[in-house]
Amino acid sequence: MNDHSGMNTKLFFALLLCFQTLLIFQGLELADAGFYATFYQQIFTDPQSVAYCFMFWLSGIIGGIFLKIFPDSGMFGLRLLWVLTYITIIFSVYSFLKKYVRKEYLQWSLFILTLHLNNDPKEFYYNSFSSLLYVITAILLFNGLKSKRLLSLFGAGAIISLNGFNRFPNFLGIGLALAILYYGYIYKAEIKTIVKFLSCYLVGFLVTTAVVLLIMKWMGHLQIYLDALSILASMGKKQAIINPAEDHYSIILMIKTIIHHFGVTVIIAGLLIIGLIIWYTLENKVKSLFPKINPLLVLIKICIILFIVALVFRGTITNVTINNVITGVSLIVGTWMILFGSNKEVNLLLFIGIFIMIVHPMGSSEGIRTVEKYSLWIAFPIVFEGIFSMLSLKYDPNKIKGSGIKKIHLLVKGDQFREAKIAVLALSIFSCLYFTYYYPHLDWQNRKDMYYAVDNDKMRFIFTTKERAELIDQLLVASSKYVKAGDYVIAFDCIPTYHYMTDTKPYVNNPMPWLYTSLMFKRELETAEMSKNVLPVIIMQTASTLVDEGCYWPKHKSSEDYLQNPINIARNIILENFIADHNYHEVWSNSYFKILVPPEKTM
């Protein structure tokens, strides 16, 4: 590979590191970040209070150790840990793929994937860590097969096991054993060699699984972990009595989501590719008939580009659109390269990369695109080079026998193909930068207005809008009269960051009750009543702080009644019954939150 093109490697890494570090100072939300942070905060002190989170046990251990070592780092520290994870991924991928992807293409592709993480959570969490573990698995597996190193294959199986403890659906990664079979097919390896490779891979997986379970047993975490898996299993069952609006994680729904999602990405990317081919084919035809029409065609293309930019500003084209294009193109072009490429090593890499792309998002529902962003590190750089190193496109099918149809001839010339690649690349970069600036995770605001901090030690160096900071400060001041560190609290239903800021414990073993179906919530509430001899203070949100309009709070308050939302109403009834049964009463409220206390907590 030519190592003289592209940016200086050290400068490249330094710029990406600076870019990601600058982003972690802004954006404050009460949902996802608090879910992770509360898990890390309580995993060693009161693990039962965050039992639901144990399906992400490994990331919880790492986050918990980090907070033990750096107890004063707060949420900003968890963001720095995310940056460290990210730069480790980038460095690992770069070092691994530089033998197979030209330096300039590798840098451009990693830059695009970096921008593609625009409105993802900026704290260390299971998706970003899963991505790193998958990258390490890919490296060990590929190098083990290439060099016939059994220890590397053992290590690949071991990392897959760890990844499963980091996020339970990642156990599906054991299917990377298919890459060993694919290796045997393309290299015509002997069956005994394939069996030996598979055995090392599976032994690594089984040994590591056994060791981790023993460690869990020693730490007193095993039963909590098994209980979390039991909850996960119950979520996978679609029962007729469950409110359909609460069905996020049934197996049937997730299978439908995966099929629908990848179908959509392939269709969108396919339409884009076909549309560009047809456009340039027609352009060539028109130019041959009307030689002086070129200025008009240039004007039309400029108008199309401006129209696309307008759609980005309008919100019609979103980061989801870009995600669909990147994923769909990676699947289509990557599969084409595997089928028709002659480089066996690159084909094996693509097989591993595409397998990770498809399997990593499994187990997700609405969050599938978030997971998918972290599954592209291996496949996309190879596909990117495959596209940008092509000089032209030509589709020339054979004449259909027995018909009068002449042979179709579609041709995209080199200068046209280069123009299309530059246009798509520029629009993608522009869009991702736009989403990065205006859409911090669940805090969709103009960054120039985000320079106010919440008055809380754990939220230092994190800035949001004045209005959002004031509302949170009001809640913290008011609740301090009724809540102290170590108390059990119900933060209902999607504001777990409150737990982290106040160092309080979730009463229902989940910092975000919104994740429970109403039946689960009722069961956990009843269990908590029997096992805990104290009634908790209830901190309740009264308006949406989540997606769509909720991300703009409080600048734009959702028009719908949050407490009457079909997703929430069944859980709300259960909580209202709990409130009535124990004579709770409201002691404070503002436009987004209210505090309810039992009789013994009255000031």
Cα–Cα distance between 349 and 135 in angstroms, integer? 11
For the segment 516-547, what is each residue's pLDDT rounded down to a tens digit? Answer: 988 899 999 999 999 998 999 999 999 988 87
With 60 as the cut, is the pLDDT of residue 65 above it?
yes
- Burial class of residue 279 in the structure, from the number of CB atoms within 10 Å of its CB (0-12 exposed, 13-18 middle, 19+ buried): middle
Q: What DSSP letter does each residue of 442-501 carry, written as one string?
A: T--S-GGG--EE-S-GGGTT-EE-HHHHHHHHHHHHHHTTT--TT-EEEEETT-THHHHH
Taking only the tens place, the pLDDT of each residue in 113-154 is: 999 998 899 999 999 999 999 999 999 999 999 999 999 999
Phi, psi of 395 (to 5 degrees): -120, 115
Peptide bond into 493 cis (omega under 30): yes
Inter-residue contact 65 to 78 (CB < 8 Å):
no
Distances (CA, A) of 222 to 53, 165, 438: 13, 12, 42
For residues 47 and 220, the answer to whether their CB atoms sit within 8 Å is: yes
CA dihedral for 537, 542, 547, 552, sign (positive or negative): negative
Asked whether the predicted pLDDT for residue 220 surpasses 60, the reply is yes
Average confidence (pLDDT) over 453-475: 97
Predicted pLDDT of residue 249: 56
Yes or no: say if 441 and 319 are a contact pair by the CB < 8 Å rule: no
Predicted structure pTM score: 0.92
424: number of Cβ within 10 Å: 16
**pLDDT computed for residue 372 by the predictor:** 86
Q: What is the pLDDT of residue 389?
A: 85
Helix (H/G/I), strand (E/B), else coil: 326: helix
Confidence of residue 31 (pLDDT cuts 50, 70, 90): very high
Pick 471 or 323 by higher pLDDT: 471
Do the Cβ atoms of 507 and 465 come closer than 8 Å?
Answer: no
